[in-house]
Amino acid sequence: MSNKCLVIVGGVAGGASAAARARRLCEQCEIIVFERGPHVSFANCGLPYFVGGEIVEQDSLLLQTPETLRARFNLDVRVNTEVVAIDRATQSVKVRDLATGREYDQTYDVLVLSTGASPLKPPIPGIDRAGHFTVRNIPDVERIMAWIKDCQACRAVVVGGGYIGLEMAEQLKRRGLGVTVVEALPQVMAPLDAEMAAWLHAELKANGVSLHLEDGVAAFEAPKSGESARASVVVLKSGKRIEADTVVLGLGVKPETSLAKNASLELGALGGIRVNEHLQTSDPKVYAVGDAVEVRDGVTGAWGIIPLAGPANRQGRIAADNIFGRPSHYEGTQGTAILRLFKLTAGCTGANEKSLRKAGIPFQALHLHPGSHAGYYPGAEPIAMKILFAPDTGRLLGAQAVGAEGVDKRIDVFATALKGGMTVHDLSELELAYAPPFGSAKDPVNMAGVAAQNVLAGDVALAQWNEIPAPTIAGRAHHSVRAGTETATDGAHGVTRPTSEFSGGDFLLLDVRRPDERAKGFIPGSIHIPLDEIRARMNELPRDREIIVHCQSGQRSYFACRILAQHGFRVRNLTGSYRTWKTAVGV
């Protein structure tokens, strides 16, 4: 490629990294970067925090400018310049200067497409009304901030509960606006499984954000008499009407593939540009990277569109390596991601239950609630943690975590283990840094591995939170077992009455927590025998029925399961126990 021309369409993570890597590999090559917008390299993941004021200076979002890229890397960067067509036969692109309207052709020896993704705007009536915004680049957030200031907006509706939607909800709340989040799915944050996303639902509500789930938008309407919305009245499919002074559309993104499609490059079934492991398209002279391409899921092997900055950056580097004769492979995307939502952090890596079921991959799911650091050191916070692993080999398939502290470091360890093909046995043996302010001698990652080993060894069988029905009545029955007598107290009226055992399935639900814990909340229909009384009160438990045991987080109920199993009872441990069940069912 020496003394030849590399043309890159699009900057930001993928295109900019490809350009910089290309220059480091070839000083003589001509490198031209065309960027349709005004900024070639900016921190699009930081845009919500600029809206909320956590990032004060706009210049902080600019990672590189055309001038700095020219000075350091000798790159010819042309912003406000759109590539409108590719002619593969002549190896040229048609370019339009958006400031002057002038069009010209630019030849290339190799072309890299880093066209990114555009926000989804489905054909909902009124979606293009004034005061509606998407969040993709710096001009977008400038328009949002100007609108809020000019119309003195007080109420915002965020449509969509993905990463951008939730970050914008947090930041708009930080600005002092009343915020409503509308999500058509039963949960926010689709990469998380339902019971893990439930922690975020509770956090939104705890911070005064109104949350509407399983209720998509039917229309955006002008306010009627008596309504004072400055942007729209958001009409939900249920008929609810929500007045909004500004609307942020966080409905996801779709790959920008019009250039590739019009050039007859192969697209995948999901609409992204199809590339091989070297990031080449169906034309070997054309590479593609970033949010516009379809990639292989690192766990399931299925094609997917995973718009994340980290993978895009790596893809840009790998494409440049291959272009300049350094064979390099892109091995797929794990989908490792993290989100801050008020006081909580949520992270995930690898597959979730939905994707594993779709791929037909067997798995076992395990929940636990370890502390973020040593419990005797002040300030330890519980982490709601979930791992998914193969039931035969114990290979790690995915991990999710939500908590106020320590989530990031654990998700990064899980992501590394996943990349390395590690098993839960390996997790139990990892030697991780320990001092009381930072962790425990047995780190939460180690604890997850050990708990999974217990399952694989047959020491304990698991029950999942969704096997235990949610309460359907206002008064929750309090059950106790003592010398064969069972009574119930209606939580609403304080009336003691006879009652039956748990009737949600052909099993008995046993709570082994302390009485003071149970007094703060319990699963209706469960019976109560504290762990330390189990051996003395086994005669109160049936031997002809399965017993599902729970405690607060799953550890003490595991101890109870081991005791009961060795005395001939059929038992399973409710993984994640009361904490997971309570949050998942929303009681």
Place of tokens 């010819």: 76
CB burial string 526-559: b at 16+ within 10 A, e below: bbbbbbeebeeeeebbeeeeebbbbbbbbbbbbb
Of 453, 376, 383, which Cα lies nearest the Cα of 413? 383
Tokens of 32: 């031209």
Segments of 66-189 assigned E as strands = 76-78, 81-87, 92-97, 103-107, 110-113, 117-119, 132-133, 155-159, 178-183
Burial degree of 255 (CB within 10 A; 0-12, 13-18, 19+) = buried
> Residue 515 in contact with residue 480, Cβ under 8 Å?
no
> Residue 192 in contact with residue 115, Cβ under 8 Å?
no
Segments of 176-289 assigned E as strands = 178-183, 210-213, 217-221, 232-236, 241-244, 246-249, 253-255, 273-274, 286-288
**Alpha-carbon gap, residue 269 to 87, rounded angstroms:** 24
Tokens of 338: 């993290």
Phi, psi torsion values for 146, nearest 5 degrees:
-65, -40
Residue 201 neighbours by CB under 8 Å, 6+ apart: 187, 188, 211, 213, 586
> Residue 527 in contact with residue 481, Cβ under 8 Å?
yes
Tokens of 401: 């975590």
Which among 45, 154, 551, 561 is annotated as catalytic?
45
**Alpha-carbon gap, residue 587 to 584, rounded angstroms:** 8
Strand-strand pairing, 383-389 and 396-403: antiparallel
**Alpha-carbon gap, residue 108 to 4, rounded angstroms:** 8
H helix intervals, 420-519: 424-429, 444-456, 515-518
* DSSP assignment letter at 22: H
Tokens of 412: 């990064």
Place of tokens 């409503």: 180
**Alpha-carbon gap, residue 577 to 458, rounded angstroms:** 19
Is 561 part of the annotated catalytic residue set?
no
Tokens of 577: 């126990």
**Alpha-carbon gap, residue 262 to 413, rounded angstroms:** 42
* DSSP assignment letter at 92: E
> Residue 448 in contact with residue 368, Cβ under 8 Å?
yes
Q: Hey, how many other C-beta atoms are within 10 angstroms of the C-beta on 400?
A: 28
* Beta bridge partner(s), residue 478: 489
Residue 159 neighbours by CB under 8 Å, 6+ apart: 165, 182, 217, 234, 247, 248, 249, 250, 251
For 347, the enclosing helix (H) or strand (E) is: strand 344-350
Residues with catalytic function? 45
